Amino acid sequence: MSDLTAWPSPFWGSQFIPSAKGFFLEIFAGEAGLTQAIHARGQKFLPPIEILPNNFVLDAVDILDQQVVLHIKKLIAAGSLFFIHFGTPCSSFSLARKDEGGPPPLRDRANLWGRPNLRACDIEKVQLGNKFMAISAELVTMCHRCSVGWSVENPAGSFLWSMPPFEAIETLPQVERYLLDMCRFGSPHKKPTAILSNRDLRTLALLCDRPVRPHDHEPLVGMIVVEGKKVFKTKLAQVYPHELCSTWAQAICADQQEVLARTFAWSQPSDERKRPVGQAIPWSGHKQQVTAQKALAAGYQLKRSALPPLLQIELEPGEAVRRALQLQHPFTVDPALEPDLQEALALAVLHVIAEVLFNFGTSEPNACSLPPKLF
């Protein structure tokens, strides 16, 4: 899907499950730069999830809405997604908050869930951060269990990585934490960053190369005026550089192709098969075949033997997967007209043509020249 307006609106919370597979999803998307880079590579994507709409986020979506979370879980369980990225907000987890006149720290090593004696507004920020962290951890765990690719980004020193749910996630098989500096991807800030993922993202693990490529780092302290409003520099630096998004999307798509290649190459020893590869799947006409075709056209399904199998010869498992992905879902195909209706329509069209010819002064068509079947 390459057009955001093609989805039901609002999409999130509708519980709509597309028949196609292999979608990318970005949660806490911000400007949705990674989604745009995935889109540029021709990959399918679902509407990015972000509370503030922008040029690429058409609808405001609250991830704290349980219907939205339920919708995401249904998509994961249905196998609709091949990768989810979580740009989990770091504001309450950040080490950039210091007792130096700016925003005060909200956590420390001894108080990961929130420091004591915080102001009411800061308690609210901590609780919100904890909710975002818990939702991210829950969905990441489900993705991992369902073999869906995922990644989570936060500053390298973020307390998010020390939270018990994420410490547990980091111990899961094939999970790695990749460290990078944003200056390697065109950012004016060094901004050490970490990405946790169950996919191979080593191409992102690039650290500052100032000794071989002299450059300066703008410090991420203080505020800057943007469109007449004061904004913390740390907030502006949350937007991913274009070069990072492009490299990231390339790694995600390459990993997907590698996973598919391994799947398509899957074979089974001949002595473990019920029938040899290439042999036709036995099926004979069924007395309920016409009824089954009508049921299929209406979005229902009769017992399996009433219609011929979609794959009609014995295949290796990997090849069966490849061909199945190329099939059009039967429920999305317009049904053929019944023979009696086709004949009636053909007769009606033929008589309309005859009437037109007669009105233009040509000889009236001879009924004997018409197909006998129509009379």
On whether both 72 and 215 belong to a single domain, the answer is: yes
On whether both 216 and 190 belong to a single domain, the answer is: yes
User: In this predicted structure, what is the pLDDT of residue 131?
Assistant: 97
Q: Encode 119-150: b = buried (16+ Cβ within 10 Å), e = exposed.
A: eeebeebbeebbebbebbbebbebbbeeebbb
User: In this predicted structure, what is the pLDDT of residue 218?
Assistant: 86
166: Cβ contacts below 8 Å, ≥ 6 apart: 133, 137, 152, 160, 196
Name residues of the chain where pLDDT drops below 50.
Answer: 1, 233, 236-237, 367, 372-375
Number of domains in the chain: 3
On whether both 88 and 160 belong to a single domain, the answer is: yes
Q: What rounded mean pLDDT belongs to the chain?
A: 84
Half-sphere exposure of 283 (CA within 13 A, CB side): 18
On whether both 249 and 313 belong to a single domain, the answer is: no
pTM given for the model: 0.69
> CATH number, domain at 205?
3.40.50
User: In this predicted structure, what is the pLDDT of residue 258?
Assistant: 61
Which residue do the tokens 């990318």 mark?
Answer: 24
On whether both 238 and 315 belong to a single domain, the answer is: no
Domain residue limits at 178: 4-263
What's the CA gap between 362 and 354, in Å, rounded? 9
User: In this predicted structure, what is the pLDDT of residue 1?
Assistant: 46
Of 240, 263, 286, the position where a domain reaches its end is 263
Of 219, 236, 263, the position where a domain reaches its end is 263
On whether both 143 and 289 belong to a single domain, the answer is: no
On whether both 113 and 252 belong to a single domain, the answer is: yes
What's the CA gap between 153 and 178, in Å, rounded? 10
Of 207, 228, 263, the position where a domain reaches its end is 263
On whether both 144 and 292 belong to a single domain, the answer is: no
252-283 pLDDT, tens digit each: 998 666 665 666 667 778 777 777 887 777 77
